[in-house]
Chains A and B, each alone.
Chain A
Amino acid sequence: MTSSTLGTPPSGWVNRHVLGFGRHSLAVAQMEIAKIGREPTELLTRAIQPALWLIVFGQVFTRTRAIPTGTMRYLDYLAPGVLAQSVLFSAIFYGLAVIWERDLGVVHKLLVSPASRSSLVFGKAISAGLRALAQAVIILALAAVLGVRLRTDVMSLMGVALVVVLGGALFSTFSFVIACLVKTRERFMGVGQVLTMPLFFASNAIYPLSMMPPWLRTISALNPLTYLVNALRALMIEGGEGTAGLGTDLLVLLAVFLVLVGIAANLYEGIVR
């Protein structure tokens, strides 16, 4: 056995920090993904709520034409919003898993390892993003059945997949931050409930920004969900477009995600105190 295996870090700065970050993130993500595959029923039960939004809410409001969506049919307008909502709802309670791991002691094991905190957070975020993607497949299939005018070219579908993963990663990391701050299940549930609906309603998921009073429009411009909805609308729907341009949407999402990873990495240690 060589001495390089006995507690000395891998040689070379790039190997240790850049590749190390990748290896550790991947190791964490891989294990989390293994868990998703073992709970397929969860993916199905979580698809029920978005299905209701599309089938009930979507059908009714498409018929009543109460919400002005220009030349776009309301159901087409709504579908990306429902997808974004499912990404938000499935990711926003990710912090519960973090608290669960804290109550058990799994977090302690992760935190005493040489893996950087940011690689642990990043790995978990990516796995949460992939969980959201599994959910998205179900919703897209349902939307197709309901006759939503989806773009079906490979580039668009890949774009949608990428944005879903990014959105899931972003909101799960947001949830991660809250978990580190509140630390207990009870408080987390309280905060989670309080945040979810405002995030949803202060966005253009189910109605356009133009319908909102100015104050709400300001809030929704600060809401990452708005950018997620915009990006999905532009990528998913024939003739769909966001309000700020796809490039802006992606940049905002990526920047918010990376900032949240930084915050979560800094707070992570505090969860065991």
Chain B
Amino acid sequence: MSEFELPVRPAVLTQALTRRFGELVAVDRLDLEIASGIIFGLLGPNGAGKSTTVKMLTTLLPPSSGRATVAGHDVVREPAAVRRQIGYVPQLISADGALSGYENLLLSAKLYDVPRKEQAARIDDALQFMGLTDAARAMVRTYSGGMVRRLEVAQALLHRPAVLFLDEPTIGLDPMARHAVWERLRESRTRYAMTVLITTHDMDEAEQLCDRLAIMNGGRLAATGTVAELKQRVGPSATLDDVFAHFAVGVITEGGSYRDVVNTRNTAERLG
């Protein structure tokens, strides 16, 4: 892993990126620049447009207008090139419960054209790194929530992506499992010199894990900066909770749409 050079171009760049669903503007003229090699947190209340942004950046959803590049490739014009460069762990559970951990990794290795000769070594390495070697042959449906998440991260890293996207990576996990996932993420970032973008509405996660943050609110970018910068903008002794409350004002506090809640609870239930 020595011949890595950090490219100068930003890992993610969006210009007036917009997505509408009928009348609703889920993401509204978003301008975002994420430097290579950092862990970037996208914060915001439910319904702020975080997941929609990630879906556009991962080529799952075409933008209504504006543009975005990931690892130097346009998400609309070169989706295939973008897909080769990214890893994605959705908020929902993406590991297949009816397959073993090893089989899940093997499927990823094959779909990402990891050379056949390297597949076994990389899978063994990934299992060991994620602490899943002993559980490799067990069906994923028997895994704990933390194990499932670690497996999904391992799957997403197998092809050594330049940018890793994680949508609410520790939702529904207990504190121990959360810390284990964070630990693996930090280490992977250094090990593979990649950029990580996570969405979260967990202040603790944002503070402990992220080098820079962007707060979204109502589909728009409300603020961006390092944790320290954001705190400073709000007040001398502000906590990140205060920052969040300050920039995410005026939203419904009940916690997102019905569908958001159902999705979140489903995920939490399956992982917990």
Query: Which A residues lie at the B interface, using CB under 8 A?
Result: 1, 3-10, 20, 23-24, 26-28, 31, 34-35, 38, 101, 103-106, 108-115, 269, 272-273
Contact between chains at B58 and A114 (CB < 8 Å): no
Contact between chains at A105 and B91 (CB < 8 Å): yes
- Chain A binding surface SS class: helix
Contact between chains at A5 and B88 (CB < 8 Å): no
B266: chain A residues within 8 A (beta carbon): 103
- Chain B residues 228 to 272 lying within 8 A of chain A, measured CB to CB, are 266, 270
Contact between chains at B111 and A5 (CB < 8 Å): no
Query: Which B residues lie at the A interface, using CB under 8 A?
Result: 1, 3, 55, 58-61, 71, 80, 83-86, 88, 90-99, 103, 106-108, 110-115, 118, 152, 155, 159-162, 266, 270
CB distance from B54 to the nearest CB of A (A): 10
- Chain B binding surface SS class: loop
Contact between chains at A114 and B84 (CB < 8 Å): yes
CB distance from B167 to the nearest CB of A (A): 9
CB distance from A42 to the nearest CB of B (A): 12
Query: Which of A7, A23, A110 is B162 in contact with, Cβ under 8 Å?
Result: A7
Contact between chains at A109 and B88 (CB < 8 Å): yes
Residue contacts A-B, CB under 8 angstroms, 22 given:
A1-B1, A1-B160, A3-B3, A5-B118, A5-B160, A6-B160, A7-B162, A27-B106, A31-B107, A34-B99, A35-B98, A101-B96, A103-B266, A104-B94, A106-B93, A106-B94, A106-B96, A109-B94, A109-B155, A114-B113, A269-B60, A272-B55
B91: chain A residues within 8 A (beta carbon): 105
B86: chain A residues within 8 A (beta carbon): 112
Contact between chains at B111 and A115 (CB < 8 Å): yes
With the chains together, A108 CA to B118 CA distance in Å?
25
A6: chain B residues within 8 A (beta carbon): 160
Contact between chains at A20 and B94 (CB < 8 Å): no
A3: chain B residues within 8 A (beta carbon): 3
With the chains together, A7 CA to B84 CA distance in Å?
5
Contact between chains at A108 and B160 (CB < 8 Å): no
Contact between chains at A24 and B60 (CB < 8 Å): no
Contact between chains at A8 and B84 (CB < 8 Å): yes
The 8 tightest CB contacts between A and B, nearest first, are: A105-B92, A27-B110, A109-B94, A113-B111, A108-B90, A105-B94, A105-B90, A112-B88
Query: Which of A7, A27, A105 is B111 in contact with, Cβ under 8 Å?
Result: A27
Contact between chains at B160 and A7 (CB < 8 Å): yes
CB distance from B113 to the nearest CB of A (A): 5
With the chains together, A170 CA to B90 CA distance in Å?
30
Contact between chains at A7 and B161 (CB < 8 Å): yes
Contact between chains at B84 and A108 (CB < 8 Å): no
Contact between chains at A108 and B99 (CB < 8 Å): no
